[in-house]
Amino acid sequence: MLVIFTDNQILSTQTICHNCPLADQNGQPRWRQGVLQCGHPLNQCSSEQHVNQYECQMGFLLVYLTLPRLKDEEF
């Protein structure tokens, strides 16, 4: 899930990116095969973090969250 962090809010990309000239035809960030085409990575996640951070060319902090897989015994 790709979201935008501000100082005090977590926003969906639809809220911000639909007005961005760098967005795709659907008003979404240019996210292709795990790479943000309209920004650059700030860090890459380790297996424990489950978070990748990016800065878009407009200056917003985008975070790609992945949920950890639950083991069978955790159900």
Please say if the pLDDT value at position 75 is more than 60. Answer: no
Domain tally for the chain?
A: 1
- Confirm if 64 and 33 have CB atoms less than 8 A apart: no
**Residue range 55-67: mean pLDDT, rounded:** 89
Give the residue, 1 or 17, on which the prediction is more confident.
Answer: 17
Over its C-alpha atoms, the chain yields an Rg (Å, rounded) of 14
Structure confidence by residue, pLDDT tens digits, 32-58: 888 889 999 887 655 555 568 999 999
Provide the domain limits for residue 14: 2-74
Buried b (16+ CB within 10 A) or exposed e, 56-68: beeebebebeeee
Q: Note whether 2 and 14 are within 8 A (CB).
A: no
The answer to whether residues 14 and 28 touch, using CB atoms and an 8 Å cutoff, is yes
